[in-house]
Structure 1
Amino acid sequence: MTKKLWVPVKFFSLNSASLTVIAVAMKLPMDLTTPMSCEVDQVAKVGGLGFLCTMMSVSMLSLASLDNKSLFANVMGLSVFVITLIVDVGIQIQTQVIRRESVHPFVMSPLMAACIYMGMLLFFLVIFISSAATIPTLKKLVELKYQATLNDQIYKKTGY
């Protein structure tokens, strides 16, 4: 008769395996040594940041299904990874590995796209950390309210 009180996460979850896969996929944007002067290379480098933004937003729902210890560990691992990535992209912008101008006149420059993605990553990171801080307490409160409602329903049906 008990039901899960959160959205089930079947495809994306935040755990050590998914963090490892994301870190491997982010090798291209974090590569500091390759100049990548071609337009396609610049799009691939900046597009990796968009991939991480998407992965963070999709895996946000999985936070409620984690226990307290794994929630803390996974959010800390993700925080270290995102902060490292933002520092690396900042270094690439300063050393002009990420170009400031676009080859095409109507296309956003890689620099502007990288700055937008870095802002989004910081925004998602703040949401992740604040959610991780409040989820254990909220989960406990929702569970207590659910049990109280369930007990009231049983009492009304049986009279005991």
Structure 2
Amino acid sequence: MSSRKDAIRQTVLADHAACMAILNSFTPEQWEKPAPSEEDAPWKARDVLAHIAVSEGGQLGQIQRCVKGEVTVPDDFDLRRFNRRSVQKQADRSTADMLKEIETGHAQVLAALDTVTEADLDKTGRHARGDIITVEEFFTRITDHRRRHAEELQKAVGRRQ
């Protein structure tokens, strides 16, 4: 593995460990507390968890399409609408199931990293947020996104001591 891919892997692993330490520390009551949302909708902590679980797969799909030279997201993609709808669809899932989905997504991200070449890391595509980024940046954005939301939840709902 190249030093560049190894650096990405180390970031992904470290951010995942930090994120899961936070998410696994919450009580059932804390998952029901209000949480910050950029989606113009009142979210609970469990809604943010659903968002994290779903978004990982979506971003991984963007990486796979970018590597193939395909359009990563449609021109008319509405990220806020996607986020609201995906959270609504997850409303009946347990937090345990969503945490497992995050673990599965993490394993898939690492597996995808193993398959990309050095040249693939420099390919570019449009992220769901609208900016053009490299495959390398897609990988770091996935893990940064998850970690950032976990840290926001930690501040909003607290942690068991």
Q: The TM-score by the shorter chain falls in which range?
A: 0.3 to 0.5
> Which protein shows a greater Rg?
1
TM-score by length of 1: 0.37
Of Structure 1 and Structure 2, the greater strand share is in 2
Which structure would you say has the larger RCO, counting Cα contacts within 8 Å and 6 or more residues apart? 2
